[in-house]
Amino acid sequence: MSGPRDMRRTARTGLAVAISVAWMASSSPLSAEPTNPVIVGDSAGLGAGAATIGSVSNGPGMDMTVDQHAERVFIDWQSFNIGTSDTVHFDQGGSHWIAVNRVTGGLGSTTIEGMLTATGHVWIIDPAGIAFSSDAVVDVGGLLATASNIDPGDFLAVTDLEDAGGFTFSPGGNGTAQISNAGTINSSGLLALIAPIVDNSGTLDSAYGDVLLGGANAFRLSFTAVERPADAGHPTAFDELLVTDFIIETPVTNDPTPGNETVPVTNTGNLTGANIIVSAASAGGGAFINMDGVVEATTIGDRSGDVVILGGGDFIGGAADASSGGTEAIRIDNADISAAGDFVAQGIGVSIDKGTGLGTLTAGSIRIAATNGDATSDTNLTATAGGIDISASGLVSLTALDAATTLDIEAADIDLNGTAVGGGAVTMTASAGDISGTDLDIEGASVELTGPVAATDSATITATTGDLTLH
């Protein structure tokens, strides 16, 4: 990745950098670049020489370059704002290099309205929150924006990025801090926005890595390196860091009063990545995750991407932990979701509504679990390669299901107003009510129904090659 526009790099460190940056930023109303950097530590023991930071005028604003000389560096800033006419570029030695930028000035939330570029990973920490405006353009090797804090010593102590312990982030001090994006953020690797409140209305696009939206006060994040094949952007095979664990240590504080519920994660924009991970946990109940927009997990090499949405569960070992309970509901409204691999939604309740549009959900396989409520959908659910597995402690209400292999539904009551097709066995169990629908059409190689069958209009149940079993 080339540096920002016609940038002339200067080597300045220490107080001189902070003073010149602050003075030059004040010369233009469109300019508001990061101020007063202090290098706290680095992985090579270079001290102040771990990074050189310089700025030059580009006319209406400023161009800043951070030349990073150690694989990992931790920098404290008084502020990390980037104005509409400003550019900040991190020149790093590889895509796996990380620069942590922690805001300590207490001057309010960070606002990024200009351009942020990097050859490696840029992590931004501000306990007051971070906002990427609609004018923001970000093109990096990886990005983590969070309101939580990590101790510099703990960050630098992880000598292997695949260390099983990963990186542990503590509460940042503001339990209502928000990370929002209305701009365009592109990366080759990780894209993660994590805070008590996360709102994406823009574009998050990772060419080879994961997109993670997390609603949390404190969390643990772990990675594994996965080899990516050579392509037009990379002439040789390369390793990319993928998320193996996202474990919420301290949930979001929530007011459960109706009308005041917290929405830890909202997406109305576009998410594209190797895997899409959305996870939030709250204390107090009543919170929910709100998903809209376009969500796409792609195939890279021989790996099919997954979409995982967790309302209170943990993401462990690269997958949803089915044993962890839900603390909040998942609301998917008017979204277009596609996953080359699996789609998983697990929460206290799950609602999938096509809304006023033509919302779709297509994945290799589909698993939906409502741990203490209902699972409902009026969207066509299509599993192109595997099965569909839906469970709820309450009602399962569905419109149309099409599974390439097995179809398994288990709930207190099942209401099917459409067609349920399984390429293999179809199993439906209503433990406390019945299996019903105005137009009940069930087809599978074999069909097993447990519970009274009640169709108010018509019912067609077909076992194409196996047994039809009614209990």
Q: Tell me, what's the pLDDT at 11?
A: 31
Half-sphere exposure in the Cβ direction for 390 (13 Å, CA): 36
Helix then strand then coil, % of the chain, to nearest 5? 5, 55, 40
pLDDT in tens, 357-386: 667 899 999 999 999 999 999 898 999 999
What is the CB-side half-sphere exposure of residue 271 using CA atoms within 13 A?
37
To the nearest whole number, what is the mean pLDDT of the chain?
87
| Among 347, 391, 339, residue whose Cα is nearest residue 365 | 339
pTM over 0.85: yes
Contact residues for 19 (Cβ-Cβ < 8 A; gap 6+): none
What's the rounded mean pLDDT across residues 410-415?
Answer: 95
- Per-residue b or e along 185-203, where b marks 16 or more CB atoms closer than 10 Å to that residue's CB: bbbbbbbbbbbbbbbbbbb
Compute the distance between CA of residue 248 and CA of residue 217 in angstroms, rounded to an integer: 8
Residue 402 has pLDDT above 90, yes or no: yes
- Domain layout of the chain by residue ranges: 14-470
> What is the mean pLDDT of the segment spanning 183-194?
96
What is the dihedral angle through the alpha carbons of 150, 152, 158, 160, rounded to the nearest 10 degrees? 100
Class of domain 14-470: mainly beta
Contacts of 316-323 with CB under 8 Å at 24 or more apart are 316/244, 316/245, 316/247, 317/244, 317/245, 318/224, 318/242, 318/243, 318/244, 319/344, 320/344, 320/346, 320/367, 322/346, 322/369
Pairwise CA distance, residues 150 & 219, whole Å = 10
For the segment 392-407, the average pLDDT, to the nearest whole number, is: 94
pLDDT in tens, 77-127: 999 999 999 999 999 998 889 999 999 999 899 999 999 999 999 999 999
